[in-house]
Structure 1
Amino acid sequence: MASTSSLVSSAVRAMRVVSEKMGSAESGSSPRRVMLTKARSTTFALPGPPGWSGADGGLEGGLERRVDNTAVVMFKQVAYLAVVFAILIRFYVRIYPSRAWEPYEVTDIPLTGVYAPNDALKSIAFIVDVAAPESFDIRNGKIYAGQKSKGNIVEIDLDTSTKKVVATLGAAEGTHEVLLPTGTLVKNIPVICLNDVAILRDDGKTTTYVLSESSTTHAMEAGILEMLSSGSGRVFLFNPAMPGNARFTVLGENLHFPNGIEVLPDAQTIIVSETARRRVLKYSIRENKWDVFAELPGGPDGIRKTEKGKYLVTVPLIQGPNGGKDLITYFSKIPPIRFLVSFWLDSIYTGIYFINEFVPNTFTASLSNKVISFDTLSRYFDFSDPYSLVVELDVRGKVLRTFSGRDPGFRRISQAMIYDKKLILGSYEHPFLAVLQI
């Protein structure tokens, strides 16, 4: 693309052509000689027909076409400049200032010992079609799961493998109350990417929740940009009964995609998955201190407590026994590469976004978010061997047992729970739940 100075010079010359034509016309003098000279000196003007003849066979028609072509080209170049300027401004606002582009390391945990492949997940059975049941809960023998993009809560009967919609989230219709809307300021930073929630305490009158927010700069649809950074996520307490800012207590900031969250039995210790760093962190409220609870061979997602007081952690982003590596981990020590990849992806997204703004259509609307979504991360930035892993930890972070399998037909496991000697599995990628008899 031409430099900014050359584009500006071209625009100025074109404006002079138009100005002199208009001025000559108003004074009644013939503009032909002056316009011929100026048009020929405009280096980016498109050539006219042979002889510069217009529709009437004269010179003036050709000159008018010449000026029209000049205006079109000038408009295109100004449009190109506007797009480039918009991309740079958008990138600066969205990515550059809010990122600590620092190198970091993740511990490389081999799949040996307690992590040795056991192929337990090869025996899973698939039950009930549910649109990407990333998270769920079990009450009185029933599974309650959300349906991705539909806003429905479905009830699933394990005995009959049937489902029914029991609730539709409809805050706009007044059927449900939103306790913490998107955009709410938590210590002067708007909430945009809440992930998981657990109850810290409930005295019957008020409830205090602990929440993970995976990013403070990107919504979940742009999750890949957060993963490529050095982390802007946070964990905070929320008591809706308190007034104003007193509702919130921020426990940790600049975490690298905090994800699943749980509370230990002492009600003073919180554990949270830090997906991009391949570990589970522990926070002591009493000591106001963060520690590493467990390091894992891949990026953890959901954490759920079992009836026996253990903790099931799913590991959807993992290298299999045949090796391979996701590019985000591979370039963890090279911030410039992660920065450039972020710039490239966000520029593509912005271009598609502007096209959809000017010419709204379902194709570009759907495509824009896919460019920077976790689907892109899974498809194009993960060269690891297809593998799935669920880890059971005790209250000290010790690994008790694992459930694993190479390409069991059910990848990206996001949550696991045990009920009635069954391991129930959910995924943000597959449209169904899975169950394993244990």
Structure 2
Amino acid sequence: MTVPRPPAPWLLRPVKLPATVPPELTGAWAPTDTRLDDVEVLPVPTGHGPEDVAVGAEGQIYSGTDDGHLWRWPADAHPGTTPDLLATTGGRPLGIEIDPRDGSLIVCDAYRGLLRVTDDGTVTDLAHRAGGTRILFCNNAAVARDGVVYFTDSSNRFPVSHWRRDLLEHRPNGRVLAFDPASGRVDVVAEGFHFPNGVALTPQEDALLLCETVAHRLVRVSLPDGAVRVLGDLPAYPDNMAPVGDGTYWIALASPRVALAEKLLPHPQLRRIAGILPTRLQPQPVPYSMAALVDGEGTVLRVLHGPAGRYVMATGVRQHGDTLWLGSLTEKAVARVSLS
């Protein structure tokens, strides 16, 4: 079964904003550790874009590709290991989390919505509507100890196939949702975000840390009231994030901020034109991945760089023991690197 792909609006509705300038990679962001240019890759058999990575209780690795497949590698996988095909969603799997109650996968499918996938490959739909509207761009999730799933709906206008248009429009089109497995209810936690993406729970589960890709910032969303506090402006575009378990979090950063895109902010008409140009003529991400470790207040503790672009558009990140796993929106493999 292939889930229908929703169309995207042809014309943008860009808002006029002041021009900004991407900050330099200095201080805590200085490229002193370039180990992301020396990652070990585990290819996917078909498709591309293993956008996120999750690690099971026994160390097995999960990821999903653009053809709707969910893949599983054994804990002792080496670069030549062929993963098992766990399931096919018919959509586009993005964020993947482990339900702490039973070890099943919670999958954000950009086209199908929020899913549960069990170890035998059974796929169950959990949520595809919230607040009276369709979930258009289910992206990343965090699962609480009681099974409540907090997840992002990145855009109410543009599906994943047209994510670049949402960046050019630069409007707060996204929201954060909560699915309660006990009741099946889906609530809107907060809305008005600029492409909300990676999300993670605090150890006390009294707040979420949230990455806004378009606004290149990290925010804290209090629970249950949804109050938002900005923790930091980032020099790159953040994507998925994952807790380490000690009150720190890894953030995958797909690209340093693009100077041309920020120069175009005061010019809505130019951005509207850029939105209908061929992709190759639009502002392009820089082939330079990063992964940043931050604490609960957004303080940067460590940054790994990949300036040579040997593994680009890093969108997923997960620490397991002394290994950092990476996913990518465009590569044909997941990657891992030692943290020691």
What is the match of residue 147 of structure 1?
A: 65
**Which of these residues, 137, 142, 146, is aligned with residue 198 of structure 1?**
142
**Which residue of structure 1 lines up, in the alignment, with residue 183 of structure 2?**
242
Shift of 1:383: 5.4
Question: Offset at 1:149?
Answer: 0.9
Please state whether the residue corresponding to 1:196 is helix, strand or coil. strand
The residue that corresponds to 1:176 in the other structure is 123
CA contact (8 A) 2:37 2:307 kept: no
1:259 maps to 2:197: yes
Q: Deviations over 1:161-204 (max 9, x none)?
A: 423325113589x94211123xx3x22222111111111341xx
Gaps of at least 5 residues in structure 2 are: 1-6, 92-120
Contact 1:257/1:276, CA 8 A, preserved across alignment: yes
Distance 1:100 1:429, change over 3 A: closer
Q: What is residue 187 of structure 1 aligned with on the other side?
A: 131
> Could you tell me whether the CA contact under 8 Å between 1:233 and 1:258 is conserved in 2?
yes
Contact 1:156-1:163 at 8 Å conserved across structures: no
Shift of residue 341, structure 1, vs aligned partner = 2.5
- CA displacement 1:75-103 (0-9 Å, x = unmatched): xxxxxxxxxxxxxxx99x6646xx46242
Question: Which structure shows the bigger proportion of residues in helix conformation?
Answer: 1
Mapped contact 1:237–1:248 kept (Cα < 8 A): yes
Matching residue of 1:225: 165
Separation in 2, partners of 1:415, 1:407: 19
After superposition, residues 6-405 of structure 1 pair within 5 angstroms as: 95=11, 99=13, 101-103=15-17, 108-121=22-35, 124-130=38-44, 131-139=48-56, 140-161=58-79, 162-169=81-88, 175-181=122-128, 184=129, 186-202=130-146, 207-229=147-169, 230-242=171-183, 247-319=185-257, 325-342=258-275, 344-345=276-277, 371=278, 376=279, 379-382=280-283, 386-405=287-306
What CA distance in whole angstroms lies between the structure 1 residues aligned with 2:36 and 2:127?
A: 40
Given the superposition, is the C-alpha separation of residues 94 and 125 from structure 1 closer, same or farther in structure 2, using an over 3 Å criterion? closer
The structure with more strand, counted as a fraction of residues: 2
Quote the sequence identity (%): 24
Partner residue, 1:80: none
2:36 and 2:177 map into 1 onto residues whose CA distance is 38
Name 2:117's counterpart in structure 1. none
- Per-residue CA shift, 1:268-289, capped at 9, x if unaligned? 1011111011111211125531
Report if the CA contact (8 A) 1:388-1:412 is conserved. Answer: yes
8 Å contact from structure 2 (residues 50, 65) kept in 1: yes
User: Structure 1's 383 and 340: CA in aligned 2 closer, same or farther, altered over 3 A?
Assistant: closer
Q: Measure, in 2, the Cα distance between the counterparts of 1:421 and 1:240.
A: 33
**Deviations, residues 204-257 of structure 1 (Å, cap 9, x unaligned):** xxx3211101111121101111111123111111224436xxx23212223111
Q: Is the 8 A contact 2:202 2:209 kept in 1?
A: yes
Determine the C-alpha separation between the residues in 1 that align with 2:204 and 2:10.
39
CA offsets 1:294-343 (integer angstroms, 9 cap, x no match) = 22101100101114331001111215xxxxx353322123223222333x
Letter in structure 1 aligned against 2:60: K
CA distance in structure 2 between the aligned counterparts of 1:252 and 1:401, rounded to whole angstroms: 29
Letter in 1 for 2:235: P
SS of aligned partner of 2:125: coil
Residue 326 of structure 1 contacts residue 383 of structure 1 at CA under 8 Å; is this kept in 2?
A: no
Do structure 1's residue 426 and structure 2's residue 327 form an aligned pair? yes
Runs of 4+ in structure 1 displaced over 4 angstroms?
93-96, 104-107
Q: Tell me the CA shift for residue 107 of structure 1.
A: 6.8
* Root mean square deviation of aligned Cα: 2.7
Contact 1:169/1:175, CA 8 A, preserved across alignment = no
User: Which has more radius of gyration?
Assistant: 1
Distance 1:422 1:166 in 2: 23
Q: Which runs of 5 or more structure 1 residues have no equivalent in the other structure?
A: 1-89, 320-324, 346-370
Counterpart contact for 2:69–2:85, Cα < 8 Å: no
- The whole-number CA distance in structure 1 between the counterparts of 2:83 and 2:284 is 38
The CA distance in 1 between the partners of 2:282 and 2:32, in whole Å, is 26
Q: Secondary structure at the match of 1:276?
A: coil
Report SS of the residue matched to 2:191: strand
Whole-angstrom distance in 1 between the partners of 2:202 and 2:211: 14
1:190 to 1:273, Cα distance in 2 relative to 1, 3 A: same
Report deviation, 1:105.
5.7
Summarize the Cα distance change of 1:201–1:125 in structure 2 as closer, same or farther, 3 Å threshold.
closer
Find the aligned partners of 1:133 and 1:171 in 2 and give their Cα distance. Answer: 15
Provide the rounded CA distance (Å) in 2 between the counterparts of 1:391 and 1:413: 11
